[in-house]
Amino acid sequence: MISNTDLFERAQQFIPGGVNSPVRAFLSVGGCPRFIKKAYGPYIWDAEGKQYIDYVGSWGPAILGHSNPEVINSVIEAVKNGLSFGAPTEGETELAKLIISRIPSIEQIRLVSSGTEATMTAIRLARGFTNKTKIIKFEGCYHGHSDSLLVKAGSGLLTLGQPTSSGVPTSFIKDTIVLEFNNIESVEKAFEQHGKNIACIIVEPIAGNMNLVKPKEGFLKFLRNICTQNNSLLIFDEVMTGFRVGLRSAQGLFGISPDITTLAKIIGGGLPVGAIGARKNIMEHLAPQGGVYQAGTLSGNPIAVAAGIATLKQLGKPDFYENLAKNTNLLTSELQRVGRKAGFQFSSDFVGGMFGIYFNNMVPTSFIEASSCNSELFKCFFHEMLDQGVYLAPSSFEAGFLSSTHDENVIQKTIDIAEKVFRKLEKQT
Ligand SMILES: *Cc1c(COP(=O)(O)O)cnc(C)c1O
């Protein structure tokens, strides 16, 4: 058997940093990333055969747990007919219809292969539709890795302590206005200054790439109104929150209709799918109908679409989201209880099947507050939990995820382990 350490050493020779997406490298927590061999339900197994309870869930897609039998079967059936045709298939319409039936602000969908592609296209579409140039994004929100959105971004960039990427010319980001999440005044000022030329606001309706940070009461409604008043478009980047926090996603939860929605992660059920959705009069600006160009060799890939359909169908089961939220609440409230009992400044929060844990006595409401959590303590906690068989996101700037297979037993086991770990950390600090 080859060890994680050997695999990582070998990977580093041939792949920059040994990984194909930066956070996987464990840079901010230190130590050796686990090379995963297989996954089933709430569990993953590494190359050394060690089992972990997984709270990353492939960063969101695995809402039904890993290797969901219906999803795997759909994929196997689809594979038998060939892998990719570069021509339309019936399944693409079926997936589009499933999404549209659940998210009322969407009348038409264009499928792509990642969240990055979806947000990049959404920005181009907003600019093409409005004939305006500037865009507003919020510090700590992550919208994929296209140039104009890599300014003060969350997720891996935050983890590496380098929130703005090098290699992005300032001319590419001069039209990106970066404001503070949950700060209404800063948005008002930006519109006073540039209102005539603001194409769109793009926002994670529940921020999940600077740990979990909820919108304050009225924040999203304010964004909706100011966009409408200025003929700018509101883009909800629901790549993470889409079908994660409820069947109608974050927009359904808050009762706010964005103009454009971007999706990915869950809608691909573990395979590469992203989507841009909006009203018809916006979507018709996309090629081939309109002048905003967008394309993809593997867009709407039949295997990926089959996984997406099989996943979305199961989310409509009665009480699916009620149970998911109940279990997520159990996990986070119990973690908070045992953490505080051991004397730590520790908080937690959740929405639907996503959660945040914070080494701080208050749940953060902004990027600044999210960054002020104790990252040294998180590091220790992360590694002790990992040793004991609980796989948390290897960064304090990422949200955690539950699946429908994380039942009370799995959660109780996690809490028991956490209680032991907190007690051990208490002695050390
Ligand atoms: C994950 C994520 C993206 C990027 O999606 P990829 O499929 O990784 O390109 C964009 N926006 C949000 C909110 C995300 O969570």
Q: Kind and range of the H or E element at 194? A: helix 184-194
Among the options 46, 237, 259, 349, which is catalytic? 237
The H or E element spanning position 237 is strand 233-237
Q: Structural domain boundaries of the chain?
A: 4-67+318-428, 69-315
Distance 56 CA to ligand 1 centre (A): 14
Strand partners, 53: 43, 390
The encoded tokens of residue 94 equal 């079926």
Contacts of 30 (CB under 8 A, 6+ apart): 379, 383
Tell me how far apart the alpha carbons of residues 407 and 119 are, in angstroms, rounded to a whole number.
34
- Residue located nearest, by CA, to atom 8 of ligand 1: 115
272 Cβ inside 6 Å of ligand 1: no
Q: Residue 59: which residues within 8 A CB-CB, separation 6 or more?
A: 265, 393, 398, 401
**Protein fold of 4-67+318-428:** Aspartate Aminotransferase, domain 1 (3.90.1150)
Give the C-alpha separation, 61 to 264, whole Å: 8
**For ligand 1, mutation pick of 21, 59, 116 (most atoms within 8 Å of CB):** 116
Provide the β-strand partners of residue 40: 43
Three-state SS at 362: coil
Q: What atom in ligand 1 is closest to the CA of residue 237?
A: 13
For tokens 């703005």, name the residue.
Answer: 164
User: Which residue carries 């997984």 as its tokens?
Assistant: 54
Is 221 a residue of the active site? no
> Nearest 5°: phi and psi at 196?
-65, -20
Name beta bridge partners: 390.
53
- Closest C-alpha to ligand 1, atom 5: 115
Query: In the annotation, is 319 catalytic?
Result: no
Cα of 417 vs centre of ligand 1, distance in Å, is 31
Grouped pLDDT means (10 residues each) for the chain, 429 residues: 96 98 95 98 98 98 98 98 98 98 98 98 98 96 93 77 81 92 97 96 97 97 98 98 98 98 98 98 98 97 98 97 98 98 97 98 94 95 98 96 98 98 91
Give me the CATH topology for the region 69-315: Aspartate Aminotransferase; domain 2 (3.40.640)
Q: Where are the alpha helices (DSSP H) in 51-145?
A: 69-79, 90-102, 115-130
Query: Which residues partner with 347 through β-bridges?
Result: 358
The answer to whether 174 is a known catalytic residue is no
Question: Sign of the C-alpha dihedral, residues 180, 183, 184, 188?
Answer: negative
Residue 240 Cβ < 6 Å to ligand 1: yes
Query: Phi and psi (nearest 5°) for 192?
Result: -60, -40
3-class secondary-structure state, position 380 = helix
* The predicted structure's pLDDT at residue 155: 73
Q: How far apart are CA 308 and CA 301, in angstroms?
A: 11
Give the per-residue pLDDT at 170: 86
> What does DSSP assign to residue 408?
H
